[in-house]
Amino acid sequence: MDTKNAVATDSFACTSCGADLSYKPGTTSLACQYCGAENEIPQIDENIEELDFVAYLNEKAGKEESISATFVKCDCCGASCTLEPNVTASDCPYCSSPLVLEQAHDESIIQPKSLLPFKLGKDEALTAFKGWVKKRWFAPNDLKKAALNFDHFKGVYIPYWTYDTDTASSYVGQRGDHYYVNESYTTTENGKSVTKTRRVRKTRWTFTSGHVRKSFDDILVVATQSLPKNCIEELEPWDLDNLVPFEKSYLSGFISEKYQVDLADGFDRAKQIADDEIRKLVRRDIGGDEQRISHVNTQHNNITFKHLLLPTFVCAYRFKDKLYRFLVNGRTGEVQGERPWSWIKITALVLAIVAVAGTVAWIYTHSK
């Protein structure tokens, strides 16, 4: 990578007292936690550019503008994250394992073109998280009462790719149309065999083929492999209309992760997401009451992408020697996470339901 185009992500010093400044969520300012001074972040008036996917892979890889930061890689989960200023010890935000700070190294990576700044502060995120924990009805009481170590509750900018693509798909399948026939059947009534007629639904299948087109805008693909995919995807939707051009000041006081999914692999995931929508479109195009899809061949054209950062609060918590991860959307307060289950509570509920059902059956039997 061309280090001549690298932009450093150093901390920012307070002009009043010299302490490190941090981004103040929900504002456009850097704030000093010691003297209260605030410095306005310069606002960049420019459009957020969509980059040509094919041209980048063929011509620009290694020549793009980059940022330089100090990363340390977790030996347990493999995540590479920046370090907060002036730390002498730290834990991985994703798995709570101690980080070996001696392994920290400077590295240049592709500079994101845009980001969503944190809108919620840590206290607001903690409130949302505690409310979420209280609503886990079948969580062990120990979890709800536990003094979670919120020192591990950290704001992390998660790397993402977004892709735009125009798709043209040809398909082969079958259309199923329902129809009804009368069938005779024999049954026994009052000890006698009688013949009756009933209507039976059947399906007539016919071969079909066709073409569908769809344009996709901002297919969002997370570029980390260190968090539960189902949890992080459930943090959506993100207000991508409020993206701002990348400015390193927004990173001050927060951790940012190096992407683990590269551009090409990210597009493979984007194609999977697009395929789900394309198949829905194919089913509508086939029509009828039922559809069978035998084959879909999709061509992708005019592919563009963005590299961006999205704000998430992450808490890794160990409960009875098992790791659980909790995530809070740093814009909306949406909470998702892994949770332990109390099998004692679940068993008690099942037994209670059985007991109630047995009581109702006993009352019904004796009342007759």
User: What angle is formed at CA 314 by the lines to CA 270 and CA 320, rounded to 5 degrees?
Assistant: 115
Which of 151, 142, 139 minimizes the C-alpha distance to 91?
151
Q: What is the pLDDT of residue 1?
A: 38
Cα–Cα distance for residue pair 336/232, rounded to 1 Å? 7
Strand ranges inside 264-367, DSSP E: 290-319, 322-329, 335-337
Q: Averaged over 213-217, what is the pLDDT? A: 97
Residues 113-148 have pLDDT tens digits of 899 999 999 888 888 887 777 765 555 555 555 445
pLDDT band at 53 (very low <50, low <70, confident <90, very high): very high
Residues 235-281 have pLDDT tens digits of 999 999 999 999 888 988 888 888 889 899 999 999 999 999 999 99
Q: What is the DSSP letter of 113?
A: S
Q: What is the pLDDT of residue 69?
A: 76
| 360 vs 111: which has the higher pLDDT | 111
Q: Averaged over 176-187, what is the pLDDT? A: 93
Q: What is the pTM of this model?
A: 0.79
Computed over every residue of the chain, the mean pLDDT equals 82
CB atoms inside a 10 Å sphere around CB 158: 23
User: What b-and-e string marks burial along 27-44, b requiring 16 or more CB atoms within 10 Å of the CB?
Assistant: ebebbbeeeebbbebeee
Q: Averaged over 296-310, what is the pLDDT? A: 95
Strand 6-8 versus strand 66-73 pairing type: parallel
Q: What is the pLDDT of residue 235?
A: 92
Give the range among 181-185, 187-191, 265-269 with minimum mean pLDDT.
187-191
Q: What is the pLDDT of residue 347?
A: 62
Q: What is the pLDDT of residue 147?
A: 41
Q: Averaged over 280-296, what is the pLDDT? A: 97
pLDDT of residue 87 exceeding 70, the answer is no
DSSP string for residues in 134-145: HT-TTS-HHHHH
Please name the residues in contact with 207: beta carbons below 8 A apart, sequence gap of 6 or more: 172, 174
Please name the residues in contact with 274: beta carbons below 8 A apart, sequence gap of 6 or more: 165, 167, 214, 216, 219, 298, 300
Q: Averaged over 164-186, what is the pLDDT? A: 95
Which of 51, 310, 42 minimizes the C-alpha distance to 160?
310
pLDDT band at 173 (very low <50, low <70, confident <90, very high): very high
Q: Averaged over 7-29, what is the pLDDT? A: 72
Paired with 6 in beta bridges are 66
